[in-house]
């Protein structure tokens, strides 16, 4: 394994001062899988104050949980003292922790065998729980007794599904049974934590693993009506096969698109579900529109296309069409050609609209609110209403987007 120079430096500094130190968790897992870790966590026998005394630039990230961030060359490395966890209550950290001198104790508190390995150049890989073998077999397995581990922290159940999607692994049968049994415990977990894991799952290379949320009985404890996203009435599924709950391969990576595609079976509840999960407003807004678009046929004429673009913009609509195409190919296979042809036609129209520079938003309208006020429209809601009426006209007939024509329409 090749540790980055700064990680080696942190480990060596700790070791030469009489402490133990290892790279640990996700970075070890990813290295063994041949992936580039996105961050490096270090675990050490040194106490936080000792860590701080050994490095020039540190800050207290979660000092009460034993975590100090060491800054080297502009990069932060989380260095955490070996610990045993108490009950998990908030987002990332257990409510109370006890430091320990034993690496094995620290590894034992971690969620899955593949996340419970440590490494340094002196000792090589420390793998007390069979993480290496599970990586080879592509298995997500709880460290220790799964029921006990999911009782301590119910979010781990969702993390199991998330890692299965990110790595395309299966979940060990005992671990999976424990999830099905303890699924109701998820209702004690904060919505933010749930949302973070679901978003990582949907953003992964295997978003179809979202089906496990339903299969494992976790769905009813995610948010009100969430389980209905998996359970689309067949009369809806029949005319429009994209409505069936199915996450296709190759979807564009945008968060709103992944969520909107997933929630396409419950367009009326999409916004509420995402709000309950504390999703950011921009994502909610766009995901709702995407979910609703799946219910409609593709637009038939330029006006309909401009109208959609005025609501959602070029980027999101392009991503939506890519998603529809992925679904078509997945659902219809060889027979998708005809439908894909329709999508291509819409894309060509979009290109033409873009090249013509057609007005698709109030920003591009040839008159502004001030113009209308000066022409005698009373300040207040009437101005906005008129602007929207004018935009609607211009979406139908782009050549109307001149000051002269629009003022003629608007004049009271």
Query: Where along the sequence are the contacts to ligand ATP (CB under 6 A)?
Result: 25-26, 41, 110-111, 115-116, 153, 155-156
Strands 139-140 and 124-126 come out as unpaired
Q: What are phi and psi of 109, to 5 degrees?
A: -80, -10
The pair of three-digit structure tokens given for residue 326, joined into one six-digit string? 């992925």
- How far apart (Å, rounded) are the C-alpha atoms in residues 210 and 230? 9
Is residue 62 a contact residue for Mg ion (CB under 5 A)? no
In this chain, which residue has its C-beta nearest to ligand ATP? 26
Nearer to ligand ATP, 14 or 117 (CB): 117
The pair of three-digit structure tokens given for residue 383, joined into one six-digit string? 């101005």
Question: Which entry of ligand ATP, Mg ion, none binds 209, CB below 5 to 8 A by partner kind?
Answer: none
Site for Mg ion in 8-37 (CB under 5 A): 26
Q: How far is the CB of 162 from ligand ATP (least distance, A)?
A: 8
Per rule CB under 5 A, count of chain residues that contact Mg ion:
1
- How far apart (Å, rounded) are the C-alpha atoms in residues 331 and 241? 7
Question: Which entry of ligand ATP, Mg ion, none binds 271, CB below 5 to 8 A by partner kind?
Answer: none
Q: How far is the CB of 338 from ligand ATP (least distance, A)?
A: 41
Q: How far is the CB of 111 from ligand ATP (least distance, A)?
A: 4
Contact 64, 79 (CB under 8 A): no
Strands 170-171 and 67-72 come out as unpaired
Q: How far is the CB of 153 from ligand ATP (least distance, A)?
A: 5
Q: How far is the CB of 163 from Mg ion (least distance, A)?
A: 11
Contact 14, 47 (CB under 8 A): no
Nearer to Mg ion, 26 or 252 (CB): 26
Question: Which entry of Mg ion, ligand ATP, none binds 110, CB below 5 to 8 A by partner kind?
Answer: ligand ATP
Nearer to ligand ATP, 14 or 155 (CB): 155
Contact 296, 264 (CB under 8 A): no
Helix, coil or strand: residue 405: helix
Q: How far is the CB of 125 from Mg ion (least distance, A)?
A: 18
Question: Which entry of Mg ion, ligand ATP, none binds 329, CB below 5 to 8 A by partner kind?
Answer: none
Strands 67-72 and 75-81 come out as antiparallel
Residue ranges of alpha helices (H) inside 73-168 are 103-108, 131-137, 146-152, 155-167
**What is the binding site for Mg ion (CB under 5 A)?**
26
């Amino acid at each position: 394994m090749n540790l980055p120079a700064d990680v080696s430096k942190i480990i060596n500094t700790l070791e030469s001062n009489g402490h133990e130190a290892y790279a640990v968790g996700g970075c070890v897992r990813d290295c063994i899988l041949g992936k580039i870790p996105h961050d490096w966590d270090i675990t050490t026998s040194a106490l936080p104050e000792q860590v701080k005394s050994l490095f020039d630039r540190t800050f207290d990230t979660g000092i009460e949980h034993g975590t100090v961030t060491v800054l080297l060359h502009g990069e932060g490395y989380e260095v955490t003292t070996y610990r045993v966890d108490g009950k998990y209550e908030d987002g990332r950290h257990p409510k109370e922790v006890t430091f320990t001198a034993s690496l094995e104790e620290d590894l034992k508190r971690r969620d899955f065998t593949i996340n419970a390995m440590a490494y340094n150049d002196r000792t090589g890989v420390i793998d007390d729980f069979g993480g290496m073998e599970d990586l080879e077999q592509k298995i997500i397995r709880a460290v220790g007794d799964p029921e006990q581990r999911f009782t301590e922290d119910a979010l781990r159940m969702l993390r199991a599904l998330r890692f299965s999607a990110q790595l395309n692994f299966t979940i060990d049968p005992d671990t999976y049974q424990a999830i099905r049994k303890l699924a109701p415990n998820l209702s004690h977990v904060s919505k933010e934590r749930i949302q973070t894991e679901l978003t990582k799952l949907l953003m992964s290379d295997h978003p179809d693993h979202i089906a496990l949320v339903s299969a494992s009985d976790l769905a009813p404890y995610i948010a009100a009506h969430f389980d209905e996203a998996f359970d689309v009435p067949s009369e809806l599924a029949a005319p429009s096969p994209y409505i069936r709950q199915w996450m296709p391969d190759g979807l564009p990576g945008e968060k709103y698109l992944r969520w909107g595609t997933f929630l396409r079976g419950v367009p009326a509840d999409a916004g509420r579900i995402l709000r309950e999960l504390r999703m950011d407003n921009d994502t909610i807004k766009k995901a709702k529109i995407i979910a609703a678009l799946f219910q409609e046929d593709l637009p038939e004429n330029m006006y309909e296309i401009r109208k959609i673009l005025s609501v959602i913009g070029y980027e999101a609509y392009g991503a939506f069409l890519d998603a529809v195409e992925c679904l078509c190919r997945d659902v219809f296979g060889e027979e998708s050609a005809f439908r894909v042809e329709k999508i291509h036609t819409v894309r060509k129209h979009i290109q033409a609209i873009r090249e013509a520079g057609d007005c698709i938003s109030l920003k591009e309208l040839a008159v502004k609110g001030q113009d209308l006020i000066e022409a005698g429209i009373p300040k207040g809601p009437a101005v906005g209403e008129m602007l929207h009426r004018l935009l609607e006209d211009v979406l139908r007939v782009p050549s109307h987007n001149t000051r002269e024509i629009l003022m003629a329409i608007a004049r009271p």
